[in-house]
Chain A
Amino acid sequence: MSDGLVVEGVESFYGDFKALHGVSLALEPGKVLALIGANGAGKSTLLKSICGLVSPKAGRVTWRGRDITGLGGAQTVALGIALVPEGRRLFKSLSVEENLILGGQIGRSGPWGLQRLYDLFPILQEKRHQPATSLSGGQQQMVAIGRALMSNPDLVLFDELSLGLAPIVIKDIYAQLPKITGQGMSAILVEQDVTRALNAANQFLCLVEGRVSLSGKPQDHSRDAISAAYFGT
């Protein structure tokens, strides 16, 4: 039994649309997986199937030896899986600090707390009493990351971390990523920018129309091979 994440033959639907056709992956503790693929390839659905927002119709998701298939989001977060959702989805009627506190209210112990986050993203301390959605895109992404970290997860799922952000901001956030994953935490990184994702990851998985087209370690495959897998050619 793996003490990390194991996904076996998962089939999930996005509404009536079958988004995943039997996807499998394995992720060891402390490792970072880049999940790449074109729009509509099923990346977000896969993340949601792992964290419990989508219930797979077939297949199995195992986390630290425990079957978590179809468990709701409220339970998976208690087991140490956190999501940084696509588009951030901050709570608009909550302040920055309230968003962060809410992330931590599940009460898992670990290194992350308000002060630690404010050390990582000092700007959030300065703006902690402002409505979360009044911040700039990059700062909102920091809140979204912080909110996920506050639950002291062992696995963080980052969905489209850099979507809609200025390149300079993306660089800043990626510069902080090793400080986050360096704590023995594993991560799955969904990213449009394939090169950036591959550079930040130990392994990758490429999806095309809900199926795995290529997976492995980034250094074991040529960029051409990965590119071909990405476009499904």
Chain B
Amino acid sequence: MDLINIILQGVLVGGLYALFAAGLSLIFGVMRLVNIAHGDLIVLAAYIAMEVIRLSGLPPLVALIFVVPVMAAFGYALQRGILNRTLGGDLLPPLLVSFGLSVILQNGLLAVFTADSRKLDAGVLETASVSFGGLSIGLLPALMFATAVAVIAALQFMFYKTALGRAFRATSDDAEIAELMGLDRRRVYAWAMALCLGVVAIAGVFLAIRSNFDPFMGPGRLIFGFEAVIIGGLGNLWGTLAGGVILGVAQGLGAAIDPGWQILAGHVAFLLILAIKPRGLFPRMDG
């Protein structure tokens, strides 16, 4: 029973990792940008949520009504103002700029909010749970997982069934020819980043409810997100969810053996999968 419980908790935490990863996957898929600042943007969203809650007194999940649009608008501006200037041909300039952005975000947050670790208070939601047959499922992890599934289903629908998704796919395939269809790539990329940071906002708030956060925890979240994307296979959103789940379960099993092995077990699982299937478990069929 213990083992089943550990696996179950790991699956649910995997939802959070999938939320970290979904935006990363989207951005890489659309514009081949490896966004090193992704984790720091998650932390930024957590601090913005903290401020929104301080000013409004809203519960954290309700505060998302403000945090999501704020982050999306920031993403649009960030892409138009900075990242678009770095794209085109070489992979290195956007990588370096996003690394610089990561450093700026960390130190900016440090200057404004100090290094104290913070947490968002979601009240009874944090401790509420349902038990059956010896298994106990926390309401918060369950909600986190359900949100991840909903977000990925929504992204999937957007990507394959809407005009915006068609624009994303076309620009990803051949940006030059997409331009001849009237698609300005700079605007398409900006919309992709807006969408990505909308998802990041959700991830940030869940992260901040679940555990303490401080200005320097972004890179760690980035790694989890990366690993989930790679395990699942680049460009496959449902694969990203599976990747998050595998990572969560591996960490849970590692922690059960020895609490110090939690993070390591996740990395080992990642390396093993990479060694056996270098393109991830569910790579996209084409290309």
Contacts and interface: CB of A to CB of B under 8 A. Distances in A.
A interface: dominant SS: mixed
B31 to A, nearest CB: 14
A98 B181 CA distance: 12
Given A91-B170, A92-B286, A94-B169, A105 B179 contact: no
A218 interface: no
Interface string A84-106: 01000101111000100111011
A82 B180 contact: yes
A152 B231 CA distance: 44
A91 B163 contact: no
A77 interface: yes
Contacts of B287: 92
A102 B173 CA distance: 13
A106 B178 CA distance: 11
A209 B135 CA distance: 77
Interface in A45-64: 51-53
A89 B177 CA distance: 7
Contacts of A103: 181
Contacts, number: 64
Contacts of A147: 181
A9 interface: no
A131 B174 contact: no
A74 interface: yes
A105 B184 contact: no
Interface in B129-173: 163, 166-167, 169-170, 172-173
B81 interface: no
A165 interface: no
A77 B181 contact: yes
Contacts of A74: 179-180, 182-184
Nearest to A101: B166
Interface in A118-151: 131, 133, 147, 151
B126 interface: no
B176 A53 contact: yes
B181 A93 contact: no
A148 to B, nearest CB: 8
Given A82-B180, A147-B181, 16 more contacts: A51-B180, A52-B179, A52-B180, A53-B180, A72-B184, A91-B178, A93-B169, A93-B173, A93-B286, A94-B170, A101-B166, A102-B166, A102-B178, A105-B163, A105-B181, A131-B286
6 contacts: A51-B180, A74-B182, A78-B182, A93-B170, A94-B166, A94-B170
